[in-house]
Amino acid sequence: MAAQLLFFYFGGVTIAGAIVAVTSRNIVYSALSLLVAFIHIAGIYVLLNAEFIAAVQILVYAGAILVLYLFVLMLFNPSEEKLYLHKQAKVGIFLGVVVLFMMLFAGYKTEIIGKGGPLTAQAVKEMGHTRVIGNALFTDYLFPFEVASLILLVAMFGAIVLAGRGVHRKKGPAGRIDLSYRDKLPKKSSETPEEVIVGR
């Protein structure tokens, strides 16, 4: 009974946070309500005996990805938008409701048939969830694991190359790195390198 109450709390707040994230006019509110939704999804994972996934959800989604979004969002001088909906908004909502009922109709009666596998609550309790995941990840799924690391590497290079485009690095007077967009700022009167003043 307690588990059911917790499930309704986590599920309800998740869906409410998702709806606020999508419909809010202020984009900062959107990002913060998305954060609320992600943290409550971690609660759903705990109810499903997946503690490691819950920790990864909080560390990676709520910690890394959302902070990245918030940093970039602050670059755009966020303000409330007047015309924030597409003109096809009504059609979109109607199609969304139709798709929702179709998917619920298809999925609501789902049951697992066949006998269960080895991952029971008892096994997780004995071995620890991290160990169970690690056993699968580094034996059966070793090749996909390596491919995922390659994807992350390529994404890192891609993000650096894309976002760093047009910012030429050159050595400044004092050997500092000068970013070229700073050249548009009014220059100081003297070209001599600034001396570093060390106290006392």
Q: How many residues does the chain have?
A: 200
Segment interacting with other proteins, rule: CB under 8 A, options 34-42, 168-176, 184-192: 34-42
Gap between the Cα atoms of 136 and 77, Å rounded: 45
DSSP 122-183: HHHHHH-HHHHHHHHHTTTTHHHHHHHHHHHHHHHHHHHHHHTTT--EEE-TTSPEEEGGGG
Segment interacting with other proteins, rule: CB under 8 A, options 158-166, 171-179, 183-191, 192-200: 158-166
34 binds other proteins per the rule CB under 8 A: yes
142 binds other proteins per the rule CB under 8 A: no
The residue within the footprint of other proteins, chosen from 53, 55, 58, 178 (CB under 8 A), is 53
108 binds other proteins per the rule CB under 8 A: yes
CA distances from 16 to 38, 78, 81 (A): 11, 23, 21
55 binds other proteins per the rule CB under 8 A: no
Residue type, 195: E
The answer to whether residues 39 and 61 touch, using CB atoms and an 8 Å cutoff, is: no
Work out the burial of residue 42: count CB atoms within 10 Å of its CB; fewer than 13 is exposed, 13-18 middle, 19 or more buried. buried
174 binds other proteins per the rule CB under 8 A: no
65 binds other proteins per the rule CB under 8 A: yes
Segment interacting with other proteins, rule: CB under 8 A, options 26-34, 171-179, 182-190, 191-199: 26-34
Tell me which residue of 83, 89, 85, 81 sits closest to 28, measured CA to CA: 81
Query: 136 or 174: whose CB is closer to other proteins?
Result: 136
127 binds other proteins per the rule CB under 8 A: no
88 binds other proteins per the rule CB under 8 A: yes
- Smallest distance from other proteins to CB 126, Å: 14
173 binds other proteins per the rule CB under 8 A: no
Phi and psi for 177 in degrees, rounded to 5?
-90, 125
The residue within the footprint of other proteins, chosen from 80, 126, 128, 151 (CB under 8 A), is 151
Query: 93 or 179: whose CB is closer to other proteins?
Result: 93
